[in-house]
Structure 1
Amino acid sequence: MPAVKGVLPVFQFDNSYARLPDRFFASVYPEPVEGPKLLKFNAELAEELGVEADFSDPARLAAFLAGNVVPPGAMPIAMAYAGHQFGNFVPQLGDGRAILLGEVVDRNGKRRDIQLKGAGPTPYSRRGDGRAALGPVLREYIVSEAMNALGVPATRALAAVATGEQVYRETVEQGAVFVRVAASHVRIGTFQFFAARGDNDGIKLLADYVIERHYPELKTTDNPYLALLQGVAGRQADLIARWMGIGFIHGVMNTDNMTISGETIDFGPCAFLDEYDPMKVFSSIDQGGRYAYRNQPGIGQWNIARLAECLLPLLDEDEEKAVEAANAVLKAFGERFQKEWIGVFRAKIGLATEADGDGDLIQALLAAMHEGQADFTLAFRRLCGAAAGTEGDELFLSSFSHPAKAREWLELWGTRLDAEPQSPTERAKTMRSVNPAVIPRNHKVQEALSAANYGDFSFFERLLEALEKPFEERPEFSGYMQPPKPEEQVKQTFCGT
């Protein structure tokens, strides 16, 4: 339909979550901000969503996207949920600085949430201001769109809007609102909210809602709730395997940050590996390394166990049988993850077939990378050149400060490739389609955020442009493919709250 004059943008809302009982959420309107200014609008995503926007009045468009004007058809709510945060259970969290405007059904028939982050306090704010700072908003925009370009399921960025106000964290910062798009914002913590209250009816209502929205094919199974647990576990195992393949460290894998849909959500202190270190931690709040790179699969399984606990009353009337069924899902999670992980890394090293010993070959490469302090992304990208012919070996080996083990590994790899059907040229091309040349390197993200704090958004725009085609080596973006110099290294990242 054409844009409606004076009503910008146009959302075709169909709000299913707001039709659930009122204990699932709190109705709350965004709190207007002083001077909204549009920083970035994702026109391509808007087209996909069927959202129309008229740029002839940017001030009014910014007012809509910041929450000053609530679009027709919206039913603004803050969702209730609980969660384990760094292993400690908090029975009530909820959207403390986010407001779900409503849902749209996109042009592909998929239901998507439209949420404002930083739109003001809600009943779940716990004495917080409900606002977001500019840096975390731009970080989420950058990383969520990069993940999408890398082919990893993640929430999306529709817009970033400056508020014209200040927020107070460790220092005074500029305020902003992030417009997030998600398959839904239902989390493991949403189920935990009802389980903590002994509300089995609420758990069943939520499970039925999730099945209808995300897993409709499960409705006719013998045990839809067990199938739901299996489905969520499978998607999360696949997702984390994808994270591992691009060197992504989420940083806060709390149960309230794990979606039922299988999308990556919340990019606060997340980061990407530079030099390979399996125990690498960037998040300033992860003092014990709970969410280190290597620990992510185990934490994913632990989180699924928390979901299983919530669903036990629905799995079987016999508690012992319910526990047995849940434990089988947890075992299957580990097996599913291992299968997906080895599949991801087989592709990264150019193996189109499966053979005994592939896991050992992959682990040997990672061990050589760790010892040789090789950059994770660059080493795998340069391996693509080695796959095309031995003339690429030396460039690959130059990624290592101590290349002896890597040189030995190349010989083992070459022997394994002899059993592969692809030609070297075909293999290199395939490897370049899964080993990115460009990722949101921590120092480049920080460079963009620092400049934006001083009003210069050119670094932000340039980084987004570089990340649009991460598997292509474009000469104009060669600087984005390089690891940081020692003085450029970012050793800690910080949560937006």
Structure 2
Amino acid sequence: MTLVLPFDNSYAQLPPRFYTRQNAVPVREPRLVAWNASLAAYLGIDGGGDAETLARIFAGNEAPEGATPLAQVYAGHQFGGFSPQLGDGRALLLGEVVDSHGQRRDIQLKGSGPTPYSRMGDGRAWLGPVLREYVVSEAMHALGLPTTRALAAVTTGERVYREPGALPGAVLTRVASSHIRVGTFQYFAARRDLDGLRALCDHAIARHCPDVDGPAGLLSEVIDRQARLVAGWLAVGFIHGVMNTDNTTISGETIDYGPCAFMDSYHPQTVYSSIDAHGRYAYDNQAHVIVWNMAQFATALVPLMPDQDAAIEGFTALVHAMPERIEAEWRRVFAAKIGIAEAGEEDAALAGDLLARMAEGRADFTNTFRALIEGGARDQFLDPAAFDAWEARWRARLAREADPEAVMRAANPAFIPRNHRVEQMIEAAVGGDLKPFERLMDVLSHPYDDQPDAADLRRPPAASEVVHATFCGT
């Protein structure tokens, strides 16, 4: 059977120095392990395709008609240090489709073989990180947060080698509004390539925010998107783990689920990423880091402005205003988590006080907020009296709300992709059992529902199950 992808490619029309055209490196024995049929329909991908056809296409063995496979080049600050050339070291943009809402979407293979930007890597991925990104990105979508999405996962029939040894190879098909990053702008700015920088800026504006006016308008729009995104991460206890500028998109989507994790017990300085030795990207630092990243974006845009001194002054004002923008988003989302529809200053203090008590009492982040609806929140604390003292003030405040339970139900998921469950799922999949993966996908597709049959997936890890570190898998 054939599979029709209605490609309408625009990035491939940019100058050749934006990318390297190449095909994926074929794999020995592609086998489809996951296919997101509802996303495919949303993207207008038609023709069905049997499992073998899907496996060949989304392993990279067969390029669909209209595809223009290319590896994008970009730069980026990685943990604060600037790398003037990075790029897609193990990914290929197949092309773009226009979805059912008229929005342009990239379709990218991740793990499709080496490119000129692989930096001594093998260009491959193994099954664990592929399924982790599949599960977590789709969970983020169901939670209502902007994110790249997963269309397909294919095993390759080949082994890749990482620190644990030989592991089953796999390829992920990722869908995004685009893969344009802050680091893409930095690449051209670092080379003083004004023509390339201008072409990129015009392309990004046309694609993502056609109503804004020039680089200043683009900067303002991206700042707003990133402020909303990071506040959303904080609201669900998400820690990205590698908030480098090459992992910060212009679209405002979460991208590159490497050593990401959701918190179990709450602490503001929680870190999981094995490569974040100094906690640069800890949970509570994410709001500060995104401001720093936007300062780098602003710096890259300055050369496009006719009056650069005035641009520096204006751009600096936009970046300096960003913490207040994030704070406003934080107040809104955390007020909703405690049942308050319209947040005031005192409501931010009330939410902050609960978080402080949760950190001291080692309360589970997700279960504590959900238990505000269901009852039993005090049982999440080592010392329940700490919650009791807060609860009285909270109840008094809720008396002024029309329907606090509805507000909390919309803001507090019952289910997140808990780290130990993800690791158990990966272990089972490597052993050939995909049932835990399929169950996680089913439950996490509607995380705000009660789902009593899945109560075990709400349980925090036992001491022997705690995941202390997560890894990027490259």
Q: What TM-score, normalized to structure 2?
A: 0.98
Q: Contact (CA 8 Å) 2:189, 2:303: kept in 1 or not?
A: no
Question: Residue 35 of structure 2 corresponds to which residue in structure 1?
Answer: 41
How far residue 319 of structure 1 moved from its aligned partner, in angstroms, is: 2.6
Mapped to 2, the partners of 1:354 and 1:71 lie a distance apart of: 50
How far residue 487 of structure 1 moved from its aligned partner, in angstroms, is: 1.2
Range with greater deviation from structure 2 (409-418 or 151-160): 409-418
Aligned with 2:397 (options 395, 416, 419): 416
How far residue 324 of structure 1 moved from its aligned partner, in angstroms, is: 0.6
Question: Residue 437 of structure 1 corresponds to which residue in structure 2?
Answer: 414
1:48-87 equivalences under 5 Å are 48-55=42-49, 57-87=50-80
The yes-or-no answer on 1:296 pairing with 2:291 is no
Question: Residue 267 of structure 1 corresponds to which residue in structure 2?
Answer: 257
Aligned with 1:463 (options 407, 423, 440): 440
How far residue 415 of structure 1 moved from its aligned partner, in angstroms, is: 2.0
Structure 1 counterpart of 2:230, one-letter code: I
Structure 2 counterpart of 1:241, one-letter code: A
Aligned with 1:140 (options 133, 137, 147): 133
Question: Residue 178 of structure 1 corresponds to which residue in structure 2?
Answer: 172
String of CA shifts for 1:264-314, please: whole Å, max 9, x gaps: 001010000100010000000000000000000100000000000000122
Aligned with 1:306 (options 280, 296, 299): 296
Mapped to 1, the partners of 2:420 and 2:143 lie a distance apart of: 19
Structure 2 counterpart of 1:51, one-letter code: I
The yes-or-no answer on 1:479 pairing with 2:468 is no
Mapped to 2, the partners of 1:356 and 1:50 lie a distance apart of: 45
Tell me the SS of whatever aligns to 1:89.
strand
Mapped to 1, the partners of 2:342 and 2:297 lie a distance apart of: 35
Tell me the SS of whatever aligns to 1:379.
helix
Mapped to 1, the partners of 2:429 and 2:417 lie a distance apart of: 16
Q: Contact (CA 8 Å) 1:118, 1:178: kept in 2 or not?
A: yes
Question: Residue 191 of structure 1 corresponds to which residue in structure 2?
Answer: 185
Unaligned ranges ≥5, structure 1: 1-5, 386-391
How far residue 103 of structure 1 moved from its aligned partner, in angstroms, is: 0.3
1:155-170 equivalences under 5 Å are 155-170=148-163
Mapped to 1, the partners of 2:15 and 2:345 lie a distance apart of: 53
Question: Residue 96 of structure 1 corresponds to which residue in structure 2?
Answer: 89
How far residue 354 of structure 1 moved from its aligned partner, in angstroms, is: 3.3
1:25-424 equivalences under 5 Å are 25-55=19-49, 57-170=50-163, 171-218=165-212, 221=213, 224-315=214-305, 317-385=306-374, 392=375, 395-420=376-401, 422=402
Structure 2 counterpart of 1:463, one-letter code: L
Q: Contact (CA 8 Å) 2:354, 2:390: kept in 1 or not?
A: yes
Q: Contact (CA 8 Å) 1:53, 1:61: kept in 2 or not?
A: no
How far residue 433 of structure 1 moved from its aligned partner, in angstroms, is: 1.6
String of CA shifts for 1:16-55, please: whole Å, max 9, x gaps: 0000000000001101000000000000000000002434
Aligned residues between the structures = 473
Q: Contact (CA 8 Å) 1:313, 1:322: kept in 2 or not?
A: no
Structure 2 counterpart of 1:399, one-letter code: Q
Q: Contact (CA 8 Å) 1:187, 1:257: kept in 2 or not?
A: yes
Tell me the SS of whatever aligns to 1:384.
helix
Mapped to 1, the partners of 2:283 and 2:344 lie a distance apart of: 26
Q: Contact (CA 8 Å) 1:275, 1:376: kept in 2 or not?
A: yes
Structure 2 counterpart of 1:330, one-letter code: V
Mapped to 2, the partners of 1:493 and 1:356 lie a distance apart of: 36
Structure 2 counterpart of 1:45, one-letter code: L
Unaligned ranges ≥5, structure 2: none
The yes-or-no answer on 1:452 pairing with 2:433 is no
Q: Contact (CA 8 Å) 2:73, 2:87: kept in 1 or not?
A: yes
Tell me the SS of whatever aligns to 1:357.
helix
Tell me the SS of whatever aligns to 1:306.
helix
